[in-house]
Structure 1
């Protein structure tokens, strides 16, 4: 037994994680079953999803903050891309996708041990029951999901968080919040093994509800920006935001269609419904603006498109085009109300509407999935009532777990770091200069 095996054996005995014995033969397939076309598509999709964060989300968020915070805000996405990549390689992927129990995975891929290039040891990960993609490609694809989920959270507390706190919180959140929920839904956990499994094709619960709720809790714990509700905090550069939104829109095809795990009819339908829902969302938000007496805005157009994309994400592999049109429109009506009226009524400072669009949109989209799914596509026999109950139950569980653990994490980090937010002078000066010593002209 080599040193790494001894370390893993001891770690599994002493760490407070309920890891069960793994039957690796039921999870991995031999190299000979790899399909070149499927592999090429998932590799392309993984790059598209990474493109959604850097540069997509970085530009989308960066354009919406004040000029003095644009570099600091964009650095959130870039730093998280680096940090989460390493954490996913070390432990995140293993906890999310190797055999364990209903709550958490095991340590079989700690430091990606065993994921070698030797043709006798190379294995392929079963994706939706069809294992034709190399495990290394699947691991990278899922890494990009962990990256963008963590980056989405930062939109709720933009312009006021310490950079050290951001790094510590993001690293712990991936391990303690994202990885478990990912395992519940996609890694063989209890949400996928129940009598009526949750329908979450590409991340309604795992990504959007999870990140949106974490962002809302963080915004409440950290507190409002100085001058919130009194000073003008208009976006400094909508060109950046529209450019970022366009990148997100294009990258989302990798997000949804790539989740089919193959270049097949399911991926094709997921691609089609993604475009339909995004277009419906963009038009619906502008219509909402018109109905309340506002001019159709660039920010509204971008927000509507993203809302439609969020709504269709859990449903992309389970619905027909007609349902996608409904999901895109209804989800956007919900996110418009959450971002404009709900935030104003309760007075929380969700800076860039991480909860209003991703959290609330993910909730609406996940529930609509349980109503509008097609048994012809899903190839199942679930009734609308049973599936709707399953969707609501798992939405509530995700909200509860994400909010509680995020709250506890922030409270603990506040004690370790002597507070969560930058001081008043630094906030007035802006993150770019006070934290990073840089500025834009």
Structure 2
């Protein structure tokens, strides 16, 4: 890797790492004031734990020698002792994806989860779900080889994590929301964001960091600046789809509720970022704009499903990340440049996209449900009702997000 590529790889790694504090701000602003510390700590807890596990054995598990291997040998190179400098940068970049995927799940269980139980879940889920799925999608596993398995001339497209990150996290979030059950006050309009500026800040940080998320691979794998680099297309699509999703969300919100809100704009931006993640290098800018509009509108409607179906996905991880990830992944089957059904290809791309999306969704949901259920039935995953009502910051962490101190005149 030349010095320019190496510098960009390091910068991209820092950008993606910064996204997890962005998630903490975004989620923290959405909960009530007495739960903000708990919410943000779940992101920072994931940052600490998953970094360690990735270095110890997660990176080893994220690549396989055989298409149908479950995961790589976790003991192949404990602590990354044999990697050279370039490979270590790539390993660090991969760690940031693992961290944020786990952190995203936490939004589904806001206001009611024990921190210790969350950390146990995070470590087990990363080990048996994220690390293997990363191998399936990017490390030579069955999803990466799906097109060849079927004898197609196409392969699954997931440039930066529609399946491995967003569908994966969204499915696990749905499972945990079912395991922990509804909050004591589960009613539309009861739970309002306590700090809207914090939500907007978090969304802005996520959009900023997403350029490392999407365009980072172009440098990390030695492609930036070469003739076949698509970094310009990736950057334009990351801007365009996200901006269009804001418009799509706000239009639906205005028609549905009579007002376009700042939280809606922030949520629309995140939905657009989610959808363009797998597709950023394989859509022309016009199709990326359409993807953004559609995703923003559909996700604005999808977040209402929890009220209709009765699952308490506190901060709409399912409605934004699972639904947005599915849209972005499957959309490629229709509009991926040269291979999509409607742009010169045939149904092959659509077939492999759907199978990959459903495979990750089902696996992540089932395993997350089993892990969460086991934790709930043993040490307990959910706090007591009285602690939930009072706000769990002081009972779980012994801290307050906002300590107002009176001073003498």
Contact 2:251–2:297 (Cα < 8 Å) also in 1: no
**2:276 counterpart of 1:309:** no
| Deviation sequence 1:43-66 (CA, Å, 0-9, x none) | 111111111112x11100000000
Q: CA deviation at 1:403?
A: 0.8
Question: Are the counterparts in 1 of residues 50 and 98 from structure 2 also a CA contact under 8 Å?
Answer: yes
Pairing 1:384-423 to 2, within 5 Å after superposition: 384-417=346-379, 419-423=380-384
State the Cα distance separating 1:336 from its structure 2 match. 1.0
User: What is the aligned partner in structure 1 of residue 157 from structure 2?
Assistant: 199
Task: Please say if residues 252 and 301 of structure 2, whose CA atoms lie closer than 8 Å, have aligned partners that are also in contact.
Answer: no
Distance in 2, Cα, partners of 1:269 & 1:143: 25
Q: For each residue in 1:361-383, what CA deviation from the matched residue of structure 2 results, as whole angstroms up to 9, or x when unmatched? A: 0001100012111139x9xx993
Aligned to 1:108: 76
Equivalence for 2:131: 179
Q: Relative to 1, partners in 2 of residues 1:234 and 1:348: Cα closer, same or farther, differing over 3 Å? A: same
Q: 2:17 aligned with 1:37, yes or no?
A: no
Q: Judge conservation of contact 2:108–2:177 (CA < 8 Å) in 1.
A: yes
Could you say which residue in structure 2 is the equivalent of 1:161? 113
TM-score with structure 1 length normalisation?
0.85
Q: Where do residues 34-433 of structure 1 align in structure 2 (5 Å cutoff)?
A: 34-54=1-21, 56-97=22-63, 99=65, 102=68, 103-106=70-73, 107-115=75-83, 122=84, 134-194=86-146, 195=148, 196-229=154-187, 232-260=190-218, 261=221, 262-264=223-225, 265-340=229-304, 342-375=305-338, 383-417=345-379, 419-433=380-394
Question: 5+ residue gaps in structure 1?
Answer: 1-33, 116-121, 124-133
1:110-140 Cα distance to aligned partner (Å, 9 max, x none): 221312xxxxxx27xxxxxxxxxx1111101
Measured in 2, the distance between the counterparts of 1:230 and 1:58 equals 23
More displaced 10-residue stretch of structure 1: 93-102 or 198-207: 93-102
Aligned mates of 2:165, 2:398 — CA distance in 1: 33
Q: State the Cα distance separating 1:98 from its structure 2 match.
A: 5.1
Alpha-carbon distance between aligned partners in 2 of 1:99 and 1:114, rounded to the nearest angstrom: 18
Per-residue CA distance 1:204-232 (angstroms, 9 max, x = gap): 00000000010011001110111111772
Alpha-carbon distance between aligned partners in 1 of 2:135 and 2:253, rounded to the nearest angstrom: 39
| CA pair 268-231 structure 1, distance change in 2 beyond 3 A | closer
Gap change, CA 1:396 and 1:390, over 3 Å in 2 = same
Instruction: Quickly say closer, same or farther: Cα 1:325–1:231, change in 2 above 3 A.
Output: closer
Q: Distance in 1 between matches of 2:188 and 2:232?
A: 48
Q: CA deviation at 1:289?
A: 1.2
Range with greater deviation from structure 2 (240-249 or 103-112): 103-112
Q: For residues 65 and 100 of structure 1, what CA distance do their matches in structure 2 show?
A: 44
Structure 2 gap ranges (5+): 149-153, 404-409
- Superposed displacement of residue 312, structure 1: 0.5
Q: What is the rounded CA distance, in whole Å, between the counterparts of 1:101 and 1:198 in structure 2?
A: 14
Cα deviation per residue 1:126-174 (whole Å; 9 max; x = unaligned)?
A: xxxxxxxx11111011100000000000000111011111000000111
Contact 1:98–1:109 (Cα < 8 Å) also in 2: no
Q: Distance in 2 between matches of 1:286 and 1:415?
A: 41
Query: Which secondary structure state, in structure 2, belongs to the residue aligned with residue 60 of structure 1?
Result: helix
Q: CA deviation at 1:384?
A: 3.5
* Matching residue of 1:434: 395
Partner Cα separation in structure 2 for residue 293 and residue 232 of structure 1: 16
Hey, what's the Cα distance between the residues in 2 that align with 1:382 and 1:293?
A: 40
Aligned-partner Cα distance in 2 for 1:231–1:300: 14
Deviations 1:334-356 (A, max 9, x none): 2111102x222101111000111
Aligned length: 386
CA deviation after TM superposition for structure 1 residue 101, in Å: 5.0
Give deviations 1:7-46, integer Å, cap 9, x for gaps: xxxxxxxxxxxxxxxxxxxxxxxxxxx2211111111111
